[in-house]
Amino acid sequence: MSELTYALGIVAPYYNLVLVVICIYLFYKLLNTTPSTKQAFPWKIIYVAFLIYVLEELLTILRSVQILNIPIHINGFFELGIIVLFIYTILKQKEISKI
C-alpha cells in the first residue's frame, strides 16, 4: 500500500464525521419543515439509518485510536441494518405513492 492510501485510510473516518455534522444540520432543517411537505417521503426512517451510520463511524474511530477493541465484522451488521432500512423506505414510498 502506498503512503497516500495509508494516510487517506487513517484520515477518512474523521472526514466522514465532518460530513455527518453537515448532514445532521440538513436533517434538522428538513424535519423542521411544515408537515405537508415532509409527509411525501418517510424521512424519519432515512434519519434512523443515518444515525446507525454515525454510530458505525464513531466505533470505527474509537477502534482506530484503540479505545475500543471490537471485531471489524461488527460493521457488517450496521451496514445490513442500514440497507434493510433503505429497502423498507423504498417499499414504504411505493405504498404511499399508490394512495
- For every residue of the chain, which 3-state class applies, written as one string? CCHHHHHHHHHHHHHHHHHHHHHHHHHHHHHCCCHHHHCCCCHHHHHHHHHHHHHHHHHHHHHHCCCCCCCCCHHHHHHHHHHHHHHHHHHHHHHHHHC
| pLDDT greater than 70 at residue 5 | yes
pTM of the predicted protein model: 0.76
55 vs 75: CA distance, rounded Å:
10
pLDDT at 94 over 80: yes
* Cα torsion 46, 48, 53, 58: sign: positive
Per-residue pLDDT tens digits for 26-73: 888 877 876 665 566 788 888 899 999 999 888 888 888 888 888 888
Domain of residue 18 covers 3-98
Q: Mean pLDDT throughout 1-8?
A: 82
> Does residue 88 carry a pLDDT above 90?
yes
Number of domains present in the structure of the chain: 1
Q: Report pLDDT for 78.
A: 93
Q: Given this model, what pLDDT does residue 68 score?
A: 85
